[in-house]
Every structure is written in structure tokens, then in C-alpha cells.
A and B are shown apart, each in its own frame.
Chain A
């Protein structure tokens, strides 16, 4: 009687919890997920109350122009950048931008992916074949080059950049959902429902999709992390959103890359901000994956 059996044995003894209740229970017990959730909420807080937290606007010129900005001081916690702007408020407003980018691009990728995935999964045959070939083509091209290509094509407005980053996530979500649907389609409860004459589309929307959602939710959280890094990377190679004075972490990092010697803080603060926000999403994503994984041994 290995420990796993003992554990499973006990869980059954407590009254059987639904998948979600059980997941939440497991999440609470997972320290990583908790830390992740704290990190995310910190950044959400920063994003929502940016104007309250910071005493200067991100674009407001407070110090002298030129030079390499000034190091952190009591008044300007993160110092000033070369345009004489308060770096602390730029990093804080950067959080608002990054979360916005993350949310929008993931929802773009998610929605298109869901549509493609469900069509492919549900109709199957040549529709599935065709869509999957398209997905293969998109996956064959390294995602960053795809993003660069799309940005060059669509232009470098903030919206276009978000769409480009979102588009690179589409194959991921499409495949995940298609896999989920195919697995569900063969499962007994679907066959049973269909034998009772339940119409296909209603079946698809009411039962099949909700049940194949858990891996998609995990992926959505992880994709938030990738989206934030990808936009910063685009800015780093000079293809990020191009509104003047935009407080985008990647851009802030790229601009001060050559002045590491004296402007180290100009690189460190945005860099660490990217790492922490991405870490938050990755941790919660991991926690979710473990919590939602039905067959998980202890």
C-alpha cells in the first residue's frame, strides 16, 4: 500500500469535491502558486493605481535633459533617465502597459486559437487537415521572427504590436483546444448525449469546450508571461510599440543598454520588473497545471 494509495484513500474519505473546488484546495497548499499570485497582484495594484503611487507623470520632464540620467536618490527612488524623467514612475506605468499588452495579446491569441481549434477539432476530416497544416506552417517559423514580420507588416502602433504578439500564440491555443476536443469527442458522456439526440453545436458549446478548457487556462496564464517578454524583446531590437515617450520596459532597457557603465540602474530596474512579472505568471501557471491535472499522483 504505497503512500499514494493511502493519500488517495483519504481524499476519497472526505466528501468528493468537484474538479474546481479540488483545484482551489490544491492551489492553496502550493507555496509557489501563492507567491506567484502575490507577485501578480502587486503588479496589478501598481498598474491600477499608478497615478496615485507615483508623484510624476511617466513623460513629465523633471530633471535636466541629456547626459546619462541621474542615479537613484531619496527624491527619485529609481533616479532619472536621459530625458530627465522620473524612472520610478516610468517603471510603474510600464506595469500598466505590460499587463495591458499581456491581456490583450493573450485574448487575441486565445480567441482566434479557440475558434480555429474548435472548428478543426469538431468538424475533423479535411477541415481539420487543412487547419492543422496552416498551424504547422505557423509553427515552422520561429515565433519571434513571426512577430517581427507581423510588426513590420502591420506597423508599430501599440495595438498592432499586441495583435502581432497575440498571433504568435494562436497555434499553441488552437492545438491545445483541438486536442482537448478530440479527447472529449470520443468520451462516453458525449457519445451518450449524442445518442439521446443532443444537437452537435449545443453539445460542443455546453459540454465539450468547457471540459477541454483546463489546459487552455493553464496555457493562457503562461502565455501572459511570454507576451510580456516578447513585447520587451521586440522593443529591444527596435521593433516595439513606437509612440514617443512610451514607458515600455523593453524599450527602457534597450535605450540604456550601451550606458551600462554609469546608467546601470536604467537597465536593472526595467529588467527586474520584467523578470518579476513574468515569474508571477509562470508560478501561477505551474500551480494551475498541477492543480487541474486530474491524474496527478501526490
Chain B
């Protein structure tokens, strides 16, 4: 310790000066060297809520992985930006056979993967066959969730599969055959899970290999999904340092136009929402998703920032578990619906970005019925209903909400919960036993096993199809809802099979009316989830299903 006290102080001063002077250059390090004006070759840093799991579309279902894959991969079909309307992607056009069992796709010519290999019908069938032949942990629902939701089983035949086969009749024509008709196949193919990967890269970096440890636990070992994702998209993979950043660069020989000026796109995980907002304010990032509605006012008030909203594509609802007495009594359910002031909750905690829901689907989705029964806030009517039904008041009910979770349809569960409980108890008709648990895994576990009477939950659609909403909730008997209503089950089954669009829409509208009369739960909000950007970012088009390419974005 050969230093006199003076030396200690000197060393410390040096360190601080180095740090401080380093900061003198432009504080916002994000936009790097190019200064103002729609300069060429911009860099955009986007704050994500977490690291992607892996960069292989077929093996993920979490939002952050899908966002990254959307930038680097494309499917046969895609959605019109900002809508859920299916438009041509890598397939210029397609024909569907009369019996709805064969889909013929005519592919775009001259498209290459990032590794230079050619995109053709063989590549399309290679991808489909790959998904169909998944085994081991790849069949795990957390991985190939969408294949199982859309196509059902795999080649091992454990569960029946919609997928029959894929043949490349010629270089640019791929024919897909399915075992029975399904109207939602086309919409589903726009999903990120069905984007096309380069067969060459899949094999070279052994995307499907894995090791099985002594107890049969299979874990993937290939480096395709972590270091060499190769698609046809506008951006190419450059580098991924887990926990730090995922860097993608512009694909020089992209087949489509590349309207934006982003050369380097960086996703940086910032788990804490507060830290994300502060990073944006300080200019360390230029945008982030999942904005807490409480911050809408802040962002709109700050002219160096801008707030964009996704069209509503979710529903927040109060679930009624009819297995729990007295929720099996329709009158009680109706009284509850009339005793909750949904408008006040939406106004208070959704900062004007939410609209009161009338049914279990957002308006944009086909099959939305304008004339479903509605339940306006009217405590006297609720009292009347209970009295007519001869129900003793106050009715004992239990009501639960999840802690430490934020969902677009429920940014602050505790705030919603407290307001709703206040409404119920003020009406004098109900005595509420308050319950809560940590979102994952306890709360969801309790809901799925029907341990709660009333509970706060919701759903964000995956693709623009009514089956993905009401189908998922009410097509089969589930402990969470605790009811067995064959009329609803049959209506939804029939609607799903119907291929003619207009009849299909009417059938879903009828189903919605049926559901809202039966009132298995109380939908209360559709939100337009918010994204925040710095003011110099233009062209970002929010989409209901969060399919938002950065290739159209310009940074000035």
C-alpha cells in the first residue's frame, strides 16, 4: 500500500474526470454519428422487455422472439400493415380447391435467403416437412405452440394432424394439402411461426439436433437458432449478446422495397418498465413497446417523444367460474355485470387508450356482433334482478387478481381490482373475499384449475380470426369457466368449419350473441397498446397482432 493519501485522491479525481469528460460529447449516444436530416444509414435502438428465447420461428411463442424473427423472416402470406387482412408475401398469389383441402401457392421469383441460397418451392416444402416431423422437446407446447394450435399433431401421429403433405410441382409452385377444411389456415400462415427458413442453413447449423441426457431430457444443441438464423427478410442477423443486445443489419439484396433508412437495428432488453421510459427520455433508446398507460400522459406531454397505439386486438375480462356457487345462477352473473362501473375503470387506468368491451372479441375481428346484450352500470337494476330471482343479498363471492404482471389489456391489475371491488361493495349487494397471487405460475395455475370464483384475466389475439378468441375460450368445457353449454360448443364448432366467409361471419355473430346472453364472464376493455418513440422516428405502423417491420421506419 505504497501510496500516500494525496495519491488516493489524485487517482479518484482522474477516474471521475475520465468519466465526466467522456460524457461531454452528444449525450444521446443512440443515434451515433449521423446528426440531423433524413440521413442515410441510421441506427435505431429499440428497448424490449426481455431477450428473445431463440430465433427460430417454429420453436417460439413469446412476443420478444416473434418481434425479432419478424424482421429477418417472411411467410408465404403476410398481413396488410396495420390490419389483419391477408395479403401476398413470398407467394404472389394462391388458389384454394373447392373442397378446401388443397392450397396452391405461386411463389415470387428471384428471392434469395440471407446465405445466398435460392428461395423456391422445395424450400417451402422443406420447412413444412421439418415442422411436421418435430419430435422430442420440439413437440413441447412452449415451443411449437402455433403448429399445434393450427395443425394439431405431428408425423408421429400421436394426435391427428391437419397437415397432409406439401409437394413442389415446379420451381415456383408449392402445393399444400390438409386433411379437412379449415377457414383459419390462410390467416394462420401469416404467423411468424410459419415463416420460411433457409434449408441450407437449417442443416448446416443443425437446427433440429439436440442431446438427450440420462433421463431422456432432450435439449437442443444446434447453433442455428442462436447464431445463424437465415431468412429472406429485410434485416439480416449480425450479433446476439444475451442480456445485452441483438444486432441486425439491412439486407442489401432484399427482394422487396426497403422504404426506411435503418442500416443497423438493435434490440436491447430492459426488463424494468420504469428503466425503459427513462432510457427513452435520456435518448439511450429510440423506442420501446408495452408502454404503461400511466406513462401515456408523460410521453404525450414531452414534445421530444411520441406515442403510437396499436389497434385494439385484445380483450380484458372478469371471468365467472360457474363451478363456484352462486355463479352458476345467471341472475347473479347479470347483477355482478350491472354493478361494475366499467367506464370509470377504463377511463381511470387506461389513460384514454382503452374502450369498454361488449363481447369477448375486439371490433376489428370478423364475426363481431354490434347487437349483443349489453350490461350498463345500474346497481338498482342489479338489486331488482337479484330480488326477482329471490337471491339473498349480500351475495358472498370471491374475487382474485394477479400481482407483478403487466398485460396490454391489464397494465395495473391491482388498480382495476380495487376499483371493481369498491363498486361491488358500494352496491351493497355483494360481500367480496379478496384474493391475489403472483401471476406466474400461481395465479394462472389457480385460474386454470377453477380455484377462483371471479378473476381478472384477458387475451391478446394471435391472428385475425374469431376462432382465436371465442374459439379458444368457449369451444370446449374448461375448469376456468366451469360450465357445460353444448349449444355454445356446437355453434363454435360449426362456425370454425364453415369456409364461406359471409356465412362464417354470421355464425360467429350468432355465437357472440349466445355467449353474451349466457354471460360466462364480463368483458370490460379493449386496449390499444402503446408504443413510444423519440420524435425523430417516422413510418412505424403499429399492427393489431404486433407484426411491425422496421424496414419501413425512417430515423431523422
Contacts and interface: CB of A to CB of B under 8 A. Distances in A.
Direct contact of A and B (CB under 8 A): yes
A258 B438 CA distance: 21
A245 to B, nearest CB: 6
A6 B218 CA distance: 78
Contact of A82 (B294, B401, B417, B421): B294
A244 B434 contact: yes
A50 B415 CA distance: 24
Interface string A44-70: 000000000000000001000111100
B274 A257 contact: yes
A83 interface: yes
Given A83-B418, A244-B418, A261 B403 contact: no
B475 interface: no
B414 interface: yes
A262 B348 contact: no
Contact-size category for A:
20 to 34
A239 interface: yes
A3 B381 CA distance: 87
A244 B294 contact: no
B404 A245 contact: no
A259 B302 CA distance: 13
B295 A259 contact: yes
B383 to A, nearest CB: 24
A258 B347 CA distance: 21
Interface in A239-259: 239, 242, 244-245, 257-259
B201 to A, nearest CB: 40
Contacts of B301: 262
B278 A239 contact: no
A242 B294 CA distance: 20
Contacts of B276: 258
Contacts of B273: 258
A11 B292 CA distance: 65
Given A65-B348, A66-B348, A68-B294, A258 B274 contact: yes
B436 interface: yes
A258 B404 contact: no
B427 to A, nearest CB: 17
A145 interface: no
A290 B149 CA distance: 69
A238 interface: yes
A5 B104 CA distance: 103
Among A61, A258, A260: residue with most chain B CB under 10 A:
A258
A90 interface: no
A156 B439 CA distance: 12
B351 interface: yes
B347 A66 contact: yes
A66 B351 contact: yes
Contacts of A239: 404
A79 to B, nearest CB: 15
Given A65-B348, A239-B404, A258 B418 contact: no
Interface in B219-268: none
A261 B349 contact: no
A248 to B, nearest CB: 13
Interface in B99-144: none
Contacts of B422: 61
Contacts of A83: 415, 418
A65 B418 CA distance: 12
Contacts of B415: 65, 82-83
Contact of A258 (B295, B297, B349, B434): B295
B178 interface: no
Interface string A216-253: 00000000000000000000001100101100000000
Given A66-B351, A244-B434, A261 B404 contact: no
Given A65-B344, A257-B272, A261-B298, 12 more contacts: A66-B349, A68-B298, A152-B438, A155-B437, A156-B438, A258-B274, A258-B275, A258-B292, A258-B295, A259-B294, A260-B274, A261-B302
10 contacts: A65-B348, A65-B415, A66-B347, A66-B348, A244-B434, A258-B278, A259-B274, A259-B295, A259-B298, A261-B298
